[in-house]
Copies of this chain bind each other. A is one copy, B any other.
């Protein structure tokens, strides 16, 4: 897949500007909208109409076809193409890809708008803000029904439940296992070396559930393990990041959490909260089902 990124594009543009003797630091062009308003003055009438229609409801018109764009602007198709050519794009698809990349960046970090002025300089606030955004975003892509389905699958006691995680996410698997193991039997956290849990595959069948935590860099050992478990008919519930671990290929349910934070490390906090939410949901379902074990537990306390 060839992707024409905005970054690459802007770099090229800066190249041109530098060649023309301009200093890149002065007019920073970080979005196509700015690029347009920067050059709209030098455009002929038709292309200006195209520019204005695009800006009017940016960036949607640019994502449609050339024909639709031209109709919306009231000009002909070639004018649209000349317009995007003047912006520096080689062809229309490249232009659209740039718009999409820009949109992706916007949608993935809503943090850019919610700037807390009180957070002057401190290293804490950006981290917290990003984390909060990640959680909101994560849950925005997660419906009640999905969570309820997954919780129901975890709550139904047909088979065993196995949990496993990667290098940094294994603690999440442990955390979830620690809770689930209390409210229901046959919950196992797979720990230690690969050879150890690989041998546990023998115990797994199509009635069982395997919960896997895997964020990039995705671990080959986990992928292999997931594949084999999948072949055995085990239902896989995957916690991963928004780029989806290759395990998604085998998973019955996929939970994609946002992980980007201003830090050297990725954040698993959003996945952690999803895990807690699921733990609560499973507990509630078991309570509602009047599970004997729950009553016994309460009497023990």
Q: Tell me the A residues contacting B by CB distance below 8 Å.
A: 1, 33-34, 37-38, 40-41, 48-49, 52-53, 55-58, 60, 63-64, 68, 71-72, 74, 100, 103-104, 107-108, 110, 113-116, 118-119, 122-125, 127-128, 131-132, 135-136, 139-149, 167-168, 170-172, 174-175, 178-179, 242-244, 248-249, 251-252, 254, 256, 261-265, 267-269, 272-273, 276-277, 279-281, 283-284, 287
User: Closest residue to A107 on the B side, CB-wise?
Assistant: B60
Contact call B276/A267, Cβ cutoff below 8 A: yes
Q: Known interface pairs A124-B142, A171-B174, A175-B168. Does A276 touch B131 (Cβ–Cβ under 8 Å)?
A: yes
With both beta carbons as reference points, the residue of chain B lying nearest to A39 in the complex is identified as: B145
A144 vs B263: C-alpha distance when bound (angstroms): 16
Measured in the bound complex, the distance between the Cα atoms of B134 and A131 in whole Å is 13
Q: Is the CB of A248 within 8 A of B119?
A: no
Measured CB to CB, the nearest residue on chain B to A146 is: B37
Copy number in this complex?
2
Partner of A128, one of B33, B114, B273, B281: B273
**Neighbouring B residues of A118 by C-beta, 8 Å:** 143-144
Assembly CA distance A207 to B165 (angstroms) = 33
In the complex, what's the smallest C-beta–C-beta distance from A94 to chain B, in angstroms? 13
Report Cα–Cα, A109/B65, bound state, in Å.
24
When distances are taken between beta carbons in the complex, the residues of chain B under 8 Å from A267 are: 276
Separation of A235 and B55 alpha carbons in the complex (Å): 20
Q: Report Cα–Cα, A178/B74, bound state, in Å.
A: 34
Q: Give the distance in Å from the alpha carbon of A49 to the alpha carbon of B250 in the complex.
A: 9
Contact yes or no, A136 B123, CB < 8 A: no
CB<8 Å pairs between A and B, sample of 30: A1-B68, A1-B71, A1-B72, A33-B143, A49-B248, A49-B249, A52-B254, A56-B141, A56-B242, A56-B243, A56-B256, A58-B141, A60-B100, A60-B104, A118-B143, A118-B144, A123-B144, A123-B280, A123-B281, A124-B147, A131-B135, A131-B276, A168-B179, A175-B268, A179-B265, A262-B280, A263-B276, A265-B279, A265-B283, A269-B273
